Amino acid sequence: MAAPAPAAAPAGKGILLKADPIAAAYRDEVKSMLAQASTKPKLVGILSTSSEPSKSYAEFTRRQCEELGVEFVLKKTGAALEAELGEGEGVEEAIIEANEDESVNGIMVYFPIFGPQQDHYLHQVVSPLKDVEGLHFKFHYNLYHNIRFLNPKSLLETVTTPSGHTTSTIDGEVPPPGMVKSIIPCTPLAIVKCLEYLGVYNRILPYGDRAYGKTITVINRSEVVGRPLAALLSNDGARVYSVDIDSIQEVLAQSDAVVSAVPNASYKVKTEWLKDGCICLNVAADKNFEKEVRDKASIYVPAVGKVTILMLLRNLLRLQQYQRIQEESK
């Protein structure tokens, strides 16, 4: 893995690290998985709102897919298709169609659409066998229970019981026979990969415990980003503060790393509250850290989208494999 290229910075300033070098290693991994795939995987993106960030993300997905050799089909519905249609109109039908289309290997829906509650309903509509974002309940359940491997057939069963699953093995990353890796929600996973790259994870420690000894604050407690991320970090041995935006001063003073994902343009983590030399990651569309964050932080990563998309494509390739296992077992 190439060392990060530090930005030229005034004395006393931390490093501004864009996600490109972190993404690079995973781009190679995805390319090599693609080279080994039996058929070119097909990803369907579903865009159903007039939201500009969602539109940009869809375009970004397309470029990444084209660059890597993944077939990408963007299905527009609702306000994304015609100005007169409602926001989110037809999105559920589009998901069901993609679920049933055997040529489709992965489905990515551009959220937010209706707000957390109804969006959470939509997360469950996507078949877990095609859920490249890892938003289905099954994947969150596995995460919250530190279940790292699963039998691909269990993806089609509602009830998750200990039988047919294997919990964390500190011994290694290799699934036992007949099992595969669970899918991890791609945004939290991208953040973990960034923290690994940045040295918050210690590769000398055993797999499954590499964040041991580190204190990490996660600002955001949604079911999409904050809570699964806190679980991932905790599964890996970190001491985690999973907090909302209020009363964070005390926990920040103790935190080796701070991840912020607050969807609010006016929210800023105060630089003065940060521990000297900490690592800061911004996951929000609008920056959650003050401009002078690097006066305190040793490294600041302003965005992780480039890593997220690679985690998504990696999930796509895994799911393509799970679909084949599923198909063969029929």
Q: Which residues are catalytic?
A: 186
Q: How far is the CB of 26 from a copy of itself (least distance, A)?
A: 28
Give CA angle at 232 (228, 235), nearest 5°.
Answer: 135
Q: Is the peptide bond before 41 cis (omega within 30 degrees of 0)?
A: no
C-alpha closest to that of 137 among 148, 127, 146: 127
Based on the shown chain and the rule CB under 8 A, indicate whether residue 324 belongs to the binding site for a copy of itself. Answer: no
The site string for a copy of itself over 155-184 (x = CB under 8 A, - otherwise) reads xxxxx-x-----------------------
Q: Are 111 and 119 in contact (CB under 8 A)?
A: yes
Q: What gap in Å lies between CA 136 and CA 134, rounded to an integer?
A: 6
Q: Which residue number, 140 or 318, has a Cβ lying nearer to a copy of itself?
A: 140
Should residue 53 be labelled a site residue for a copy of itself when binding is judged by CB under 8 A?
Answer: no
Give the β-pairing of 257-260 and 279-282: parallel
The correct pick among 13, 42, 75, 138 for binding a copy of itself (CB under 8 A) is: 138
Task: Closer to a copy of itself by CB, 129 or 257: give it.
Answer: 129
Q: How many CB atoms lie within 10 A of CB 50?
A: 14
> Does 38 contact a copy of itself by CB under 8 A?
no
Among residues 140, 214, 275, 294, which is the contact residue for a copy of itself, using CB under 8 A?
Answer: 140
- If one asks whether residue 141 binds a copy of itself (CB under 8 A), the answer comes out as yes
Q: How far apart are CA 271 and CA 13, in angstroms?
A: 13
Q: Which residues pair with 280 in a beta bridge?
A: 258, 300
The one among 32, 56, 124, 254 contacting a copy of itself by CB under 8 A: 124
Under the criterion CB under 8 A, does residue 83 sit at the interface with a copy of itself? no
CB of 119 to a copy of itself, least distance (A): 10
Q: Report d(CA 180, CA 4) in Å as an integer.
A: 32
* Paired tokens of 233: 């970090």
3-state SS, residue 137: helix
Stretch that binds a copy of itself, among 116-124, 187-195, 207-215, 291-299 (CB under 8 A): 116-124
Contact between 64 and 31 under an 8 Å Cβ cutoff? The reply is no
Q: Which stretch binds a copy of itself (CB under 8 A): 38-46, 122-130, 198-206, 255-263?
A: 122-130
Using CB under 8 A as the binding rule, whether residue 147 contacts a copy of itself is answered as no
Does 152 sit near a copy of itself (CB under 8 A)? no
Contact string 224-263 vs a copy of itself (x = CB under 8 A): ---x------------------------------------
| Residue with smaller CB distance to a copy of itself, 138 or 275 | 138
* 260: three-class secondary structure by DSSP: strand
Q: Contact at 8 Å (CB) between 19 and 82?
A: no
Q: How far is CA 138 from CA 131, 134, 183, 257, in A?
A: 10, 9, 9, 28
Instruction: Summarize as ranges the residues that interact with a copy of itself (CB under 8 A).
Output: 92, 99-100, 116-118, 120-121, 124-125, 127-129, 136-138, 140-141, 144, 155-159, 161, 222-223, 227
